[in-house]
Amino acid sequence: MKKRLPYHHIIKYLNHKNALVITGMRQVGKTTLMKHIYDKITDKSKLWFDFDNPLDQKVFEDDDYHTVYHRLHSLAGGEDRFVVFIDEIQNYPEITKVIKFLIDHYRVKFIVTGSSSYYLKNLFPESLSGRKFLYHLQPMSFQEYLYFHDIISLKEALSHSLDRALFEHGEFVLKKRSQAYEQFMMFGGFPEVVLTKDDKTKTEVLKNIITSFFEKDIHVLSDLKDIRELRDLILLLVPRVGSTLQITRLSSELGINRMKIYDMLELLQATFFIHLLPKFSRSIDKSIASGRKVYFSDTGLLRAIGSVNEAQLFENTVINQLSHLGEVSFYRERETSEIDAILDKQFAFEIKTTGTQKDIRKVNKLSDKLELKKSYVISYNYRDIPGIVYPHFF
């Protein structure tokens, strides 16, 4: 089985004392990734625990953490160096204190997965500060999609960079990848969806992911008493993809107070269901305070929930692609001029289904005003115009 691209980065830190924490949406491939890491380790004893199983949790349930260590030490065959793998740690919140203690006193190596909802409780940042490397596993990037479909090699996928994407403009390669890109836009990057050939089955898998999100991540791990309110909010977000959210209007349409809307949006973002893009600012405080644009973290999920037009679907896909490369924001000037995406406060991108010279002049002008490094128009349809780049290479 092919391995997700993040695997090749994470294994570089197997010998570091810090815990490796893999988080992300349910069914995004966290457990499979951890199993690949488990198989990679051959020079140490290793233990696997699944916290969906209460019996596996019991190994760690002791007020004396020294006793927990000796229990693990025995299970590892008495070897002093061993690695502990734990799947679904959110099912036993006390585990973060155990991990901290065993790292500090016995240098036990931990590699764990956890639902992103768990981080809403703020336990991880407090109890494992400075003792973890945190990896957010997203749905597949388009480069991963191409690799999993044998369109590019592993070497090409791993050497991918923004510079390479910006200068690969060949019309022949673009046309060769166009069918793959259309499928990527329509069905997104969840591994099971990517590896499923039949479109109807892909749709059923996406529906199951949504059901699992509500039944497990939301119902079990959040304090929401009325799941229908969250469902209705999600349905209202679909036609607003690419738009700045107006909280007062959402509150009025749902009959829910503004603070609850903010709380539910925070929940959806913390569980990686949506992106809330901040407005570009050199000041962190201004960026946080400004209104945000909404996108869904996977376009397959977006289409399984509701309908969007072609321009919205394309823009959401590109935003997701850019999010694999760095921090993304947007710029708006008095509701008249706008830059769709700014990557790492350096690169400006205007996103158009068919880019034009006028679009290039517009983004160049705003980019110069903001003192950004470079500006481009990302176009779905091919145009032989300097300054236009294509998402098929991102």
Question: Nearest-CA neighbor of 132 among 154, 104, 167?
Answer: 104
Q: Residue 58: which domain range? A: 5-136
152 and 193: one domain? Answer: yes
pLDDT at position 289, please?
A: 46
Residue 270's CATH number:
1.10.10.10
Boundary of a domain, candidates 136, 155, 182: 136
Note the pLDDT tens digit of each residue in 328-384.
999 988 767 899 999 999 999 999 999 999 999 999 999 999 999 999 999 999 988
Look at residue 288 in the predicted model and tell me its pLDDT.
Answer: 53
**Which residues have CB under 8 Å from 182's CB, separation 6+?**
none
Could you give the CA distance from residue 196 to residue 201 in angstroms, rounded to a whole number? Answer: 7
- In this structure, the answer to whether residues 92 and 147 fall within a common structural domain is no
What does the alpha-carbon distance between residue 79 and residue 300 come to, in Å, rounded to a whole number? Answer: 46
pLDDT of residue 90: 82
Query: Is pTM beyond 0.95 here?
Result: no
Which position has the token pair 């004396």? Answer: 64
Q: What is the pLDDT of residues 154-200, one digit of tens each?
A: 999 999 888 888 887 778 889 999 999 999 999 999 999 999 999 99
**β strands within the chain, DSSP E:** 19-24, 45-50, 82-87, 109-115, 132-136, 274-277, 293-296, 328-333, 337-343, 347-352, 374-379, 388-389
Q: Which of 103, 136, 169 is the last residue of a domain?
A: 136
Instruction: Name the stretches of the chain with pLDDT < 50.
Output: 120, 289
What is the pLDDT, as a whole number, of residue 26? Answer: 84
Which of 89, 105, 136 is at the close of a domain? 136
Q: In angstroms, how far is the first alpha carbon of the chain from the final one?
A: 24
Q: Do 326 and 342 have their domain in common?
A: yes
Strand residue runs (E) in 119-166: 132-136
Hey, is 46 helix, strand or coil? strand
- Claim to verify: residue 333 and residue 212 sit in the same structural domain: yes
In this structure, the answer to whether residues 167 and 253 fall within a common structural domain is: yes
pLDDT at 298: 98
Domain identity same for 267 and 378: yes
